[in-house]
Amino acid sequence: MTSERILEAARILFAARGYRATSMQAIADEVGITKAALYYHFDSKEEILRRITVPLLDELEAALAAAESCGTPEEVRWRAIESYVDVHLRHRHTLTMLVKDMTLLVQAPIADRFRAAIALANELVAGPSRGLEERVRACQVVAGLADPVLLFRDEPPERLRRMILDGARALLGAPTSEAASEAASEADAEADAEADAEADEKADEKAKAVRARGRGGGRPAALGAEQVAQARALYAEGLGAEELAARFGVSRATVYRCLKTSSPT
């Protein structure tokens, strides 16, 4: 639609040149229509500005309201932070335009709505019953969510989003996305290892019962000190527990025990 093309062209021109330095004729030329045709769609440049700015404010207010209705204070905090960043990324050209002409940010009702949204974001990030230190830190976090969007607006949005959120986590003392992912992977690996060890221990118990009934055979239940050292060295080089078990002729449970303890199993 022509009106949408006009808004997109105006948004880019306002961000590049500034709102006041961009004429209606320049917008018409960018779209490829006459000035008269432009006025058919929009009465004034102020009307174009309003149509560009209102969606940003509407989305920001709706996102923060949705975050406020989440469960725990921690869920509210991170939903607010993530939503705040997402809205700013979607409307980064509009934000650039507003910052380029700072006087636009003090015009009512734009200024009033922005102040209210920022105040609510600060409250949600700080959480209930927070002291001065927590409220100051919350203000630092909220202020730091928008600036990178403006300064690095040409970077890929997903990459920039991840970096901004990691910065917020660092300020709030929470693990970064990479650290959280590594921790989850380590926890999963440990759980898998424990499950394997438990299964092998049960198999060892069964084998012992068979040998007790006189059937003989079976694998050694322990490794000597030299074998333990060798097993640890091979494990450090990337050899898996199953391969170590096969090499030394023991169960995986035995391997796991010797890797976890400081003395021979």
- CATH code (residue 102): 1.10.357
pLDDT tens across 27-61, in order? Answer: 999 999 999 999 999 999 999 998 999 999 999 99
Q: How confident is the model at residue 214, as a pLDDT?
A: 40
Q: Is residue 8 in some structural domain?
A: no
Whether residues 196 and 100 fall in one domain:
no
Domain that holds residue 242: 178-260
70 and 157: one domain? yes
Q: How far is CA 174 from CA 79, 165, 170, 226, in A?
A: 14, 10, 6, 42
Domain boundary pick from 174, 196, 217: 174
Mean pLDDT for the stretch of residues 121-139 = 91
Contacts of 115 (CB under 8 A, 6+ apart): none
Domains: count for the chain? 2
Looking at residue 178, its pLDDT comes to 55
**pLDDT tens for each residue of 141-186:** 999 999 999 899 889 999 999 999 999 999 998 776 555 555 445 5
pLDDT digits (tens, 9 = 90+) for 191-234: 555 656 665 666 566 555 544 444 444 555 678 888 888 888 88
pLDDT at 139: 94
Whole-number Å distance between alpha carbons of 224 and 235: 16
How many CB atoms lie under 10 A from the CB of residue 213? Answer: 7
User: What is the Cα–Cα distance from 66 to 76, expressed in whole angstroms?
Assistant: 9
Indicate whether 157 and 240 sit together in one domain: no
